[in-house]
Amino acid sequence: MTTFLAFYQNLGPALTLLVVGIFLLAGTVKGIIGLGLPTVAMGMLGLAMLPAQAAALLIIPSTLTNLWQLATGGHLSELLKRLWPMLLLIFLGTGLGTLWLGMGGGHSVVRALGAALLVYAMSGLFLPTFKVKPQGERWLGPWCGLITGIITSATGVFVIPAVPYLQALGLNRDQLVQALGLSFSVSTLALAAGLAWRGTLGGSEISASLLALLPALLGMWLGQALRQRISAVLFKRVFFIGMALLGAHLLISG
């Protein structure tokens, strides 16, 4: 239990409450729109702690909620056959990025996190939905995976360009939700391996991440309950605007 709580004792009560609130909010966002937990968590935690520390906290909540999302849908086998080149390059790109860039504590990492959030938000707000033809998947999928992996290793954000690419494949809603869960699961596990290799994911960080799972799950349940009562389109727009503002703040003040 000492190890379990040591991380939060070092953070202090105010920052601990902030972490709980952030994961509650991030889980709610994921419950409503099916994505956003690591993006919200990394962006908001980046205001108060080092990116590597924030990334360590999200490992277990992100992994378990993504596996939950991945387990539903009934399309896992066909998605693996279709997406394995991208998934493989996500893992390899994260490993390459860990060796090349890593996720240190400098201002450049915070600015990179802000830039990733800003690009993601702008693409969600303004870019039209692209369509990728089947013959284009052979080369575009691996490149998207490689770039996503490198960005993941540097910022802890694994939505660019994987999410726009998956949205462009013409998947139905159930397939897309499951494909996102699959991509995010691979990205999270690759990120965890990179953090462990660099010595920033130990027993206390894993224990602290396990505690962060509770508000994340509560948030997901709340988000799923709210999904039928609010406009998903309006919520997505507000979400992207919030991410844009947060990314701009991190980019300027980082």
Q: What is the pLDDT of residue 145?
A: 95
**Sign, CA torsion 15/208/220/242:** positive
Instruction: Read off the pLDDT of residues 57-74 as tens digits, 9 standing for 90 and up.
Output: 899 999 988 887 777 767
Q: What is the pLDDT of residue 198?
A: 79
Q: Can you give the residue range of the structural domain that contains 186?
A: 2-253
Summarize the confidence of residues 63-88 as an average pLDDT. 87
| Winning range, highest mean pLDDT, from 43-47, 116-120, 182-186 | 182-186
- Structure pTM? 0.82
With pLDDT > 90 as the criterion, what percentage of the chain qualifies?
23
Q: What is the pLDDT of residue 1?
A: 43
Element holding 18 (H helix, E strand)? helix 13-33
How far apart (Å, rounded) are the C-alpha atoms in residues 157 and 113? 7
CA distances, 241 to each of 42, 93, 231, 236 (Å):
16, 29, 16, 9
Q: What is the pLDDT of residue 105?
A: 54
Contact 164, 127 (CB under 8 A): yes
Output b/e per residue, 65-89; b: 16+ Cβ within 10 A.
bbeebbeebebeeebeebbebbbbb
Domain count, the chain: 1
Q: What is the pLDDT of residue 81?
A: 92
Instruction: Inform me whether the pLDDT recorded for 42 exceeds 50.
Output: yes
- Residue from 152, 180, 164, 167 nearest 122 by CA: 164
pLDDT bracket for residue 106 (50, 70, 90): low
What are phi and psi for residue 157, nearest 5 degrees?
Answer: -105, 125
Q: What is the pLDDT of residue 37?
A: 87
Instruction: Read off the pLDDT of residues 155-185 as tens digits, 9 standing for 90 and up.
Output: 888 888 998 899 889 888 788 888 988 999 9
Contact 59, 206 (CB under 8 A): yes
- Cα–Cα–Cα angle for 209, 185, 10, nearest 5°? 15
Instruction: Read off the pLDDT of residues 191-216 as tens digits, 9 standing for 90 and up.
Output: 888 888 877 777 777 888 888 899 99
